[in-house]
Amino acid sequence: MDIGIETVCGGTTIYGLNQEEIAHYNADPDLFAAKYLGFNTADEYREWIEVGGNALCGERTKSGRLCKHKAVSRPQLEPAEWLAHHRSEACRLHGGGQ
């Protein structure tokens, strides 16, 4: 069986899943997609989608909120690259190099 999962580029199809994989997908589609793409949790996967694959700054604003600026200038990062940079680097405003 084939299924579609959401990505920052729109989506992708996963072909030829077996019954066990289909059961995992049906139980929690986001967790299945997360694991398939290399994320540790469904929350990481959902955040990657929400921010369009942009690695965001790990610094805090004066009010204490996490900065919403990009830490890496390239958009739509692949999951492994996003995980390596997201919230672990600073944007230009916070002294990062981009």
pLDDT of residue 11: 94
When pLDDT is averaged across residues 55-63 and rounded to a whole number, the result is 93
Q: What angle do CA 8, 35, 3 make, to 5 degrees?
A: 65
Q: Quick check: pTM over 0.95?
A: no
Determine the Cα–Cα distance for residues 79 and 5; give it in Å rounded to an integer.
14
Task: Judge contact between 9 and 76, C-beta under 8 A.
Answer: yes
Q: Give the pLDDT band (50/70/90) at residue 72.
A: confident
SS3 for 46? Answer: helix
- Average pLDDT of the chain to the nearest whole number: 94
